[in-house]
């Protein structure tokens, strides 16, 4: 028995943060912002952890950006509308927290 295939094979799957079918432009921008800020804090923290004498030049931005990602992510989590937004927000919170912790461990926010 032959199966009937639709003409959709070979296409790249459509990825969206609006799985509920309604647009959420402000929440989508906040979601991506939290993820990017958290990733920057994480990269700064990891870079600082691998340098012998990083100084406060990396510790303070890592700690501040990590704190922004953590607190902003917690607020964004409260008003998020879709599961996809929540997944990216929690990812941003986690990597932001790691960046914050590494920044604090090397003297950020405390001198």
Q: How many CB atoms lie within 10 A of CB 110?
A: 11
User: What residue ranges do the domains of the chain occupy?
Assistant: 25-105
Q: From first to last of its 111 residues, what are the pLDDT tens digits of the chain?
A: 566 666 556 677 777 888 888 889 999 999 999 999 999 999 999 998 888 777 778 889 999 999 999 999 999 999 999 999 999 999 999 999 999 999 998 887 775
Category of 2 on φ-ψ map: left (φ > 0), alpha (ψ -120 to 50) or beta: beta
pLDDT at 4: 64
Q: pTM value?
A: 0.83
Q: For residue 111, what pLDDT is reported? A: 59
d(CA 104, CA 27): 29
Q: Which residue has the tokens 């959709």?
A: 8
| CA–CA distance, 69 with 96 (Å, rounded to integer) | 5
Question: What is the distance between the alpha carbons of residues 48 and 62, in angstroms, rounded to a whole number?
Answer: 9
């Amino acid at each position: 028995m032959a199966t009937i295939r639709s003409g959709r094979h070979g296409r790249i799957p459509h990825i969206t943060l609006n799985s509920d079918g309604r647009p959420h432009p402000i929440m989508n921008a906040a979601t991506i912002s939290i993820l990017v800020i958290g990733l920057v804090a994480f990269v700064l923290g990891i870079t600082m952890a691998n340098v012998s004498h990083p100084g406060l030049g990396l510790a303070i931005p890592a700690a501040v950006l990590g704190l922004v990602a953590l607190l902003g992510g917690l607020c964004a989590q409260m008003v998020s509308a879709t599961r996809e937004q929540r997944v990216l927000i929690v990812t941003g919170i986690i990597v932001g927290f790691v960046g914050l912790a590494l920044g604090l461990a090397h003297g950020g926010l405390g001198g």
